[in-house]
Structure formats: structure tokens, C-alpha cells
Structure 1
């Protein structure tokens, strides 16, 4: 068992679920301020991290009806237990944190273990697990799965401690201390530079977080100890990368896990028809999608005014792809059709391409590919095979030293994958006319090339392949059919077909008109077009919990015909949640 290293109390104006912000505070456009920007307190950092993670995951817009049609932001008093834990063989720790409500029901012992989505920090799943579990008297155990927002400033040798505040390498106690060359400059990012390929250990991260929860509960309620897997209900939940992590947890040995709910999971069922790795379709999309989107009718894409602004850039990509021999055609429309046909032939749907425009606009494909290539190859600082690095940047994207205020806020403001929070991508291959294309071609070559670096990255990808569940248990996989970041055709659909062989109690909910990012539904054009996915995650948790109680049978597989809100507000009836 991992013993808690830090215990804090959160009551009154500083609760577990929203850090006292409530719905209005979470909706505020500006983050909670620091009294001293260069030296925020651990309490200030926690509040800001919770604000950022709620807004990154949930649709909190007034028309989104969060807290009304679904979800909860009610204040929940309690304690937090946290630690830095290591899975066997890892060089760097992952963060684990357990929220124990004062109203924890010791007579109905329940832990919901949640893995962060994306590469987010340890509060990255708070909007996924907390609103369902904490008001019911369940504890919640979180893990950042070995990624997270523990950036390391190579220039000052500073990074976050367990409480989020800064310390130097000489001080010790850092959540991430990279093995970096003497004199290295810029920023080391844990997901990219830990040398651990954390995705290969996602299942072990989740199980270790559950083990830590039992240790924390022993300390919280010594009169009711011991808390063990055979006397405490354990439900795992996550979305996106967190969804993949909780599915991978079902591969871990022992009867420790009672049920799983996985939303839009990034999961690789390597031998199943249609399955593709995240790195494969990400690098493909990074190259081809900007051009391919020109083949879709302008009115079919969200935010048509923004399309008018980016069309010249997308047309330029078509031209450079043609020059590189990657598309055919002598005109932009012909080149766009060529790129589009390649994506469709490789399994992309029009719905996924339409929603994928968001990832093109935010340059998310490149950001994911840069970080994951380094992680899969277990490269350290300064070793990226395509020459990428991370640093604070000037307006012209040249590298510079980070400011005190930027550095102090990384732990609370970062998403775990630059760019963001004052840290950008340094691309040493930038060159006109299509500045990012040379770097993207290098990243793509790591997926299907045959040199030493490509084989190294491909080995790392193979290490992330999912296996069969070891125990029969209730599992619900939920995926939006319009997901443009983790298309279900590459992830959930092939995984479900494979995993059902080992676990017939697996159910699959496919949601029409749902894409990947609930947080972006606050944008009117997206909110009008798409439904949120979180209501289905909460509903699935309700149902598997009732199955474990013996009060209902397993939910059925479902193709859910959800209706978007249009110009109105989200109403529960529009979601058509299976009952």
C-alpha cells in the first residue's frame, strides 16, 4: 500500500467538488486569481487547477443545463489524501489523489477510481467522477496516469512539488525530475520526457490509484478499517485517454475491480478489424485533413466564418501535399478530393471529418503527435527524432526563458500537452511555404518508416495494445458517432468486438450527434449541433451501480438517437438516455 503523503481539509468556502467556486465561479471567463502571481499558494493552485479542469471537460454554458438536466456542482465537504506513486519499472511517479467526503458511507463502501483525460493533471477527471460519486458518499481516487502538468523548467531547474508549488532540483521532492543534459534549455514535459511510455502502464496506474484509496480510507476511518478490495466496491470511470486507461485496468489480475464505465476511449485493439493506433490516425490527420476539409461543403462545418479565414492556409496545404506527391490533382478542388478520398478509404467518416475541423483549427493533431512520438520512443530531453522541443516563446515563436508568473502557473493551467499555459512547441524544421509540413512529414515517417527511430516509436505503440479483460464484470463503453479526435471506428468499435469474447457483460452505447469535447459546446455553433457525452457517463454509472446492487439487469447495447439543443437549452428528454 502507498501511504498518503499529504492530507488537506476542504470545507465551507473550499469544498471538494468545485473548490468553493460553485457553478457561477466555474463559468467565470477569468481564472481564479493569485494574490502573488509569482508565488501562488497551494490552495490557490488547487482552486485554479479545478477551475481549468472543469472547463476543459464539461459544458458549463447557460444553455448547456449542467446542474439542471444532468450533473451536480453541489458543495461537498471532506478531505483530500495525495501522494506520488510509482508503478514497478517506472522512472517517474504518477500523481494519485483521493477525495473522501465527510458523508462517506462506511456501511456501503464505495470508491470510484478515475483516470485523467488527455494528458491532464491529477484533477483532470474531476468533472467525470466527482459529480456522480461525491454526493452519494463515495470516495474518488484520481490518477494522472504518468503524464500530467508537472513541467520542468530546464533553465532554473524548477518544477512542482506534491502540493503544486515550485521547488528546485536540489530541494528534491519534485513530481517530475528529468534526466536532462547539462546546460539544456527550455521546458521538459513529463508525458514527453519521462522515458516511461506511460500509456503502456495505464491499467497499472488505475489499479495503484485504487490501492491508494484503500490506504487513504484506512487513515480517514481507522475505526472502520481495514478497507480491502473484498469489502469495498470499486468502479472505474474515465473519458478519452482516461476511458482507455480504465479499460486497460480490466486486464489487471485479481478480483479488485467491480465495474467499468469508459467514455470515448482511446484504446487500441491491435488485432481487431478496423483498429488503428492514435499515433497512426493523428499523423495522417495532421497531414491530410486541412486539405481534405475543403472538399466538404462550407455550410457543413461549424463556425463557417472561421473557415473563410483558414481556407487560404488549407489551400496552401493542398499545394504542398501535391508537390510532395501525397495527393493528386492539378487544382485545389482536385487535391482536396484526393486527400478526402484517402481519409475515407482509411476509415474516416464525414461526421468525424466535420468534427475534426476543431482539432485542425487548434493545431491539436500536431501537438499530440509531437508529444506522443517522444513518449512512445522513450526519448529524453533533446532527443526527439524530429527535432521538436518545448519552451516559452516570443510572439514570433522563438524560444525564450519562462517568466516567474508563467512557471508558477504551469501546474494549474497546463493541459499536459503544449502548446498552452505559456509553453509552446519548438519546431526546428519550420520552413516555407508550408511551415509545419516538414516536421509533420517526419512525424508521419515514424509511424510507417523502417529506420531505427521509426522502429523505436513503433515498439512503443505496440506496448500500448489492449489485451482481453481478465474477469467478467459490468462494462459500459460510450462513444459519440461524430467523434473527430478518437473516431469510434478506430477505437471503441473494434475493441468492443474483441473484448466481448472475454467479457460478455460488456455493453456499447453509440450516441448520434456527439463529438469528443463537451467543453467546446459552449461555442454556440457546436452547442447547437452536438449533444454532451457526460450525461451518458453519469447514467451508465447509475446503471452499473444498480447492477452491482442487484436491483437491475445489465443495460442493453444502444444506438442512441440524441437530439442537439439547436438554439434552445439542453433538456434531458433530448438526450434519449437508455433506461
Structure 2
């Protein structure tokens, strides 16, 4: 099940939680340097990956409250065990990693298991699970859930080894596509042909199994570690939260409790919508609708609105009429003003298109070069034409990428740049149409539909009511309603003035309006841990009336209004 294991020690200027950087080092705007940009060492790659993933998830800005009001970046020495895990039926492995702190609490025997958010690499949940579990003496097990940053250069035939360095096709690589034809970049989420989202729950359980195996190996005097004698708590946010909920429905009582935040979950429940559905809708309509909320227009807004008209999504004789029609259409399908305002950030970063392009390929199980709407991935020139990646760009992929282009010098390449907006219509048709490509993609989406959590599993779900990427109305709210109707023990915290991306709260205007969600994740973990100890009941459902801090003000405990 597990192969290519690599063990490393992290002490004396290095550690498990921040690679020795600490809060001050993580706040530095420039990434930790490589001595040789074209051939960084495994230690250098790890340090940069930890830096990148902390900054991609948490608000570490001064005044944001991390390390003072909530969270810890204490130095935690210990050992890391990494491996490739083979899931029965999958053609590509997923990464698993277990962190065993030197301060592991032998009396508590705690294992926290988590999955990366988004499509991030193996350190993609370190700010979520590691920050809570490691300082408390818990071991932490991670999975990249079949996505991650193991990019592959199709022309050079080079990919990523277990230690993050580059290797050739003859090496043991974390991802090796089943076709090496053509040029550009292949990556696991889009091109594994496994539809990894359908197996998120099994990825997470395998990570927990790896964590127990490593604990037995690392601490033989306390072995064996099993599900029966070790406390196992699952935690995840966004896609990682979806993975936890999919694991929660698996048979057996291997999991003791779970905490989930802003989960991307497609429930078998009224009101639930598939991510691909509302992502492609937002990609086409949101850029046109935003001025209706008093937000700035995107530079190509007239073309965006005209494209939506041409696609038959809206009507309107002029631009103001089209803007209102787009706004009304989004409202009619369940978007709130709060979600639309926060979703404007995804418009700014072209995130809707990025998600749609990658997920269409994943759901349809397409190989590199087979994308249904003609998209590919590569480094690009100033005119957006594809070019070969440089050696330095390839070397940094594993440490810098978020697992989904654009980013880390890899971009989306349109087959016909002049028809980029028409390609958005093509992506939407994969959901709303009925041709062979649409049926193929929708079959993959159907495979991701979630069931109910196991009876008796303590579960807390946290979601920001202003989430503009994974709106609760389409995800957590229908899931919770169905679970409660079936008698499951789910507690639901709905946080006012919280959106999807804590990392963007360092932007002054965003930080003035929104509160971080991570404090509620850590608090929920405290509450389920105390419940498992028999020290307290699970908290009640809550709609948490937070108070934004305002422009230029530091976050205070009163702003968070943490539930009692």
C-alpha cells in the first residue's frame, strides 16, 4: 500500500511546523532562497513548500491575531515520514506524510488526519492540522488526496520524486502521466485519469492508516498503534473538508470525531449544487454582474456580458440591462449579495476559469492533451503563447505551486486565444449540455456525490456566511440539513463576516471587512477533543454574530465572538 518511503529529522534550526522559519520567517514576503535555483536540495524545497502553504492558508499579517489570539507557531522538533500510497483501482499514487513530534503524548495517543485544501501539495493543511495538533503532542497524518504539486514536463519527460527534486521518467515519480506525447505541463489533479475527488474519503482513511503504521515504526516501545487504541480526529477545510466528510461516511468506527470548515461537498440533498455547476455559472455571469453591487467593472466587461448573452444565459439590449440580468440570474440560482461580493476576488484572480478547466479534465478522466474545450497548460510568453519551462521554473514547481494553474510559472493556454470567452461557454456546456463530452464529465461529477456521516460520529461543521467560492447555500447547509434529518450528530457553526480565504485578510480592505475562519476550526477541535475526554458536551449550533475590526485596526477577541 505504501512505497518509496522517505524519513527525515527536523531539529536544531528546523522543525515540523514551520521548517525553522517561525512566525517572523513566514511573514517575510520573499520565499526562502535556493543556493542553486536549478537544483535545490530537498531541505530547501521543503522549507519553501512550508512557507508557501502557510501563506496560502493563514492570515499571518501583523494585527491579524495569529499567534496571539489564536494558533501556534511554536517550534516542534520531530520526524517526518513520507510515502506514495496506492489506492486500489487508481492508476496514480497519492502522497501521504506523517509528522511525529518528539513531544508525542504517550498517554493520549492522538493522531490528527487531514487532507490538503484546494489542490495543494502535501503540506497544504499544515496551517490547519499541524498548527493545532503538533504543539499538543499529537501526530499528524496528511494526504494530497490525489492532487498536489507533482507536475510533469511533457517535453523534457521530467517529474517530481518523493523528496521534491526532479527526476526522469525512469525514476520513481509521484506522478507520471500515462501519455508523454506533446509539450507543456501535466499535473495530477487534471491528468491522472482517476477522478481523484471520487476517492477523497479513501485517500483520507489511507493517510490515517499510514499515520498509525508510522507511529508503530517510530515509537516501537508503544506499539502497536491501531484505530482501537489511538484517538483519530479528522480535520479539513475547503476541498480538505470535503475529503473529511467523504471519509466520515465510510464503514467502521475508525474515526473518533471530525471538524470541517467551508467544505466543498456535493450532497444528495435539496439545494446542493456541484462545484462545477456554480463555478462555470460564476465564470460566465459574475464578471458582468458585479457593478450591480457597486464593485468596479472588469476591464473586458462589455465582452463578458455579450458572451453571456450569446450563450443564452441572459438577455439585454445594452450593457446596464445585461448587468442587471446577470445579477438577477445569479440571485435566482441561490447566490447572495454577500457571496457575490466575496466572489469578486475569484473574478480578479481568474479563479473560476482555473477551477473549471482543471475539474473538467479531472471529472472526464482526460489525459494531458485531451482537454474537452481545448485547454492546455504551459509556461507562457508575454503574448500568452506557450513556451518551454526553464530549469529553474521546473525546479520550484513542487514547492511553489498551488496544484492548479495559473501559478508557479504555469498558465492555462487556450487553443484559440481569440476565442477564450467562447471556451468558457464550452466549459459550461459540459454541465448543461448532453453531448458525449458532457455525459462524460457529468458521470465524473456524479461519482463525487456524498452520503451521510456515520451514525454516532461527533462532527462540527464551520462555514463563513460570506463565502464566495463555496457558498454554504450550495454545500454545507444542504449537507447539514440532510444529516440532521437522518439523525446524525452534526453541529453547525455559521460565521457572519467570514469568507473563504483567510490568507487574503492581510489585504487591508479585506481584513477590514472579514474575519478569519481558522480560529473557529481550532476552537471546534478543542471542543471535540474535550468531548472525547468526557469533559464537556459538544457545542450547540450557532449563528455567530462577529464584528469586523475595521480599517487599520488589529483583530481583538471581541471581534470573533467565539461561541461558548
Equivalent residues in 2 for 1:161-180, closer than 5 Å: 161-170=161-170, 172-180=171-179
2:555 corresponds to? 570
* Aligned equivalents of 1:312, 1:359: Cα separation in 2: 15
Kindly indicate whether the alpha-carbon contact (under 8 Å) linking 2:2 and 2:86 is maintained by their aligned counterparts in 1: no
2:149 corresponds to? 149
* Aligned equivalents of 2:115, 2:320: Cα separation in 1: 43
Query: Are residue 468 (structure 1) and residue 452 (structure 2) matched?
Result: yes
Kindly indicate whether the alpha-carbon contact (under 8 Å) linking 2:154 and 2:180 is maintained by their aligned counterparts in 1: no
Equivalent residues in 2 for 1:421-432, closer than 5 Å: 421-431=408-418
1:548 corresponds to? 532
Query: Are residue 332 (structure 1) and residue 327 (structure 2) matched?
Result: no
Equivalent residues in 2 for 1:28-177, closer than 5 Å: 28-170=28-170, 172-177=171-176
2:222 corresponds to? 224
2:403 corresponds to? 416
Normalised by the length of structure 2, the TM-score is 0.98
* Aligned equivalents of 1:279, 1:25: Cα separation in 2: 37
Q: Report the aligned-residue RMSD.
A: 1.1
Query: Are residue 526 (structure 1) and residue 510 (structure 2) matched?
Result: yes
Q: How many residues align?
A: 563
Instruction: Give deviations 1:224-264, integer Å, cap 9, x for gaps.
Output: 10000000000000000000000110111111000010000
Instruction: Give deviations 1:258-296, integer Å, cap 9, x for gaps.
Output: 0010000000013x1111000000000000000011211
Kindly indicate whether the alpha-carbon contact (under 8 Å) linking 1:294 and 1:311 is maintained by their aligned counterparts in 2: no
1:290 corresponds to? 287
2:354 corresponds to? 367
Instruction: Give deviations 1:45-93, integer Å, cap 9, x for gaps.
Output: 0000000000000001102021001001110000001100011100000
* Aligned equivalents of 1:502, 1:230: Cα separation in 2: 26
* Aligned equivalents of 1:246, 1:9: Cα separation in 2: 28
Query: Are residue 249 (structure 1) and residue 236 (structure 2) matched?
Result: no
1:200 corresponds to? 198
CA displacement at 1:321 relative to structure 2: 2.5
2:491 corresponds to? 507
- The verdict on how the C-alpha distance between 1:84 and 1:374 changes in structure 2, with shifts beyond 3 A counting, is same
* Aligned equivalents of 1:76, 1:501: Cα separation in 2: 42
* Aligned equivalents of 1:47, 1:506: Cα separation in 2: 37
SS at match of 1:516: coil
Normalised by the length of structure 1, the TM-score is 0.96
1:393 corresponds to? 380
Kindly indicate whether the alpha-carbon contact (under 8 Å) linking 2:462 and 2:494 is maintained by their aligned counterparts in 1: yes
* Aligned equivalents of 2:403, 2:96: Cα separation in 1: 16
CA displacement at 1:395 relative to structure 2: 1.0
SS at match of 1:82: strand
Gaps of 5+ in 1: 299-306
* Aligned equivalents of 1:227, 1:181: Cα separation in 2: 41
1:440 corresponds to? 424
* Aligned equivalents of 1:74, 1:85: Cα separation in 2: 30
2:26 corresponds to? 26
* Aligned equivalents of 1:244, 1:181: Cα separation in 2: 31
* Aligned equivalents of 1:5, 1:489: Cα separation in 2: 42
In terms of mean alpha carbon deviation, does 443-452 or 462-471 score higher?
462-471
Q: Which runs of 4+ in 1 moved over 6 A?
A: none
CA displacement at 1:367 relative to structure 2: 0.2
Which of the numbers 264, 267, 277 marks the counterpart of 1:266?
264
Instruction: Give deviations 1:474-493, integer Å, cap 9, x for gaps.
Output: 10000000000000000000
Instruction: Give deviations 1:110-143, integer Å, cap 9, x for gaps.
Output: 0000100000000000000111100110000000
1:304 corresponds to? none
* Aligned equivalents of 2:560, 2:220: Cα separation in 1: 43
* Aligned equivalents of 2:307, 2:80: Cα separation in 1: 52
* Aligned equivalents of 2:486, 2:217: Cα separation in 1: 37
* Aligned equivalents of 1:487, 1:381: Cα separation in 2: 31
* Aligned equivalents of 2:414, 2:401: Cα separation in 1: 20
* Aligned equivalents of 1:80, 1:339: Cα separation in 2: 50
SS at match of 1:62: coil
